[in-house]
């Protein structure tokens, strides 16, 4: 796992951990066109990119929470390395689950001078429509939400009723009850209408939700990816039930 931190000169750097992973913070957000990426991290470029602001925010908030290390998906994964990408996607749920803090940066939720007016934007945020953010909401114990001005709006507990109304995810699931307590049908319903940029990610983003590992094959298309996911789910839940029609509707 590649974790970011700032060195003694204040420069962004990273360390790779295969075991004895230290406490870390993790960022959840929606991607924009000008993200700070892995190549920028390695080449020490890209600090002028709009996406670098999120990197700084995550690191600075982690420091305020007395955490030295932090993880951001845009630059902590070498996506041109197929083995690393596959390992990262299959490990993603666990990485979010094990994070000491998860910070959600909502780029489309400004703070207004009118009391609680931000809640209107919060309920309409793109973050609630994306496929990958489903596990990023459910997996961590601590999820804190921040506005586009980097002001804290609340956390998964204080905003649980709003989140439940937006997503239809049961409050028990938001409280961290084991996902095995919820049926396949329920978990698939949480993902309904969520979107991903890459077609195959419509299936891959659900691996952690079902506790499944699967080889990645970008280019296979969403239908083939879902068929493979369906097969793995049927193998994992050997109770005489198959979920073909359910996956066809997703």
Query: Predicted confidence band at 200 (pLDDT cuts at 50, 70, 90)?
Result: very high
What does the pLDDT average to over 98-126?
90
Residues 95 and 70: their CA atoms lie apart, in Å, by: 11
The region, left, alpha or beta by phi > 0 then psi within -120 to 50, assigned to residue 228 is alpha
By the 10 Å C-beta count (0-12 exposed, 13-18 middle, 19+ buried), 77 is classed as buried
What does the pLDDT average to over 172-185?
94
Among the residue ranges 104-118, 138-152, 197-211, the one predicted with the least confidence is 104-118
CA dihedral 161, 23, 27, 86 (to 10 degrees): -110
CA max distance for the chain: 60
**What percent of the chain shows pLDDT beyond 70?**
93
The tokens for 156 are 């998964």
Query: Predicted confidence band at 245 (pLDDT cuts at 50, 70, 90)?
Result: low
Query: Predicted confidence band at 57 (pLDDT cuts at 50, 70, 90)?
Result: very high
The tokens for 49 are 């990119």
DSSP symbol at 181: G
Does the pLDDT of residue 215 top 80, yes or no? yes
Does the pLDDT of residue 238 top 90, yes or no? no
Q: Which pLDDT score is estimated for 36?
A: 97
The alpha carbon of residue 27 and the mean position of all alpha carbons in its chain are separated, in whole angstroms, by 7
Q: Which pLDDT score is estimated for 115?
A: 63
pLDDT in tens, 6-43: 998 999 999 999 889 999 999 999 999 999 999 999 99
Number of helical H runs and strand E runs in the chain = 13, 7
């Amino acid at each position: 796992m590649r974790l970011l931190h700032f060195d003694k000169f204040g420069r962004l750097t990273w360390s790779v951990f295969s075991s004895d992973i230290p406490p870390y913070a993790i960022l959840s957000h929606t991607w924009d066109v000008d993200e700070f990426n892995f190549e920028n991290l390695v080449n020490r470029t890209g600090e002028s990119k709009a996406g670098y602001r999120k990197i700084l925010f995550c690191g600075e908030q982690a420091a305020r929470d007395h955490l030295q290390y932090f993880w951001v998906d845009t630059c902590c994964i070498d996506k041109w390395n197929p083995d690393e990408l596959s390992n990262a996607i299959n490990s993603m749920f666990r990485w979010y689950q094990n994070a000491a803090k998860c910070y959600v940066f909502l780029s489309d939720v400004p703070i207004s001078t009118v009391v609680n007016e931000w809640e209107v934007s919060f309920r309409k945020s793109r973050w609630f429509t994306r496929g990958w953010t489903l596990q990023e909401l459910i997996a961590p114990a601590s999820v804190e939400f921040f506005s586009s001005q980097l002001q804290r709006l609340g956390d998964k507990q204080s905003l649980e009723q709003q989140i439940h109304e937006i997503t239809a995810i049961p409050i028990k699931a938001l409280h961290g009850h084991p996902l095995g307590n919820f049926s396949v049908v329920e978990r698939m319903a949480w993902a309904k209408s969520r979107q991903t940029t890459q077609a195959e990610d419509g299936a891959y983003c659900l691996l952690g939700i079902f506790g499944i590992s699967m080889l990645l094959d970008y280019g296979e298309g969403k239908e083939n990816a879902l068929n493979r996911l369906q097969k793995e789910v049927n193998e994992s839940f050997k109770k005489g039930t198959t979920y073909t029609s359910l996956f066809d509707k997703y």
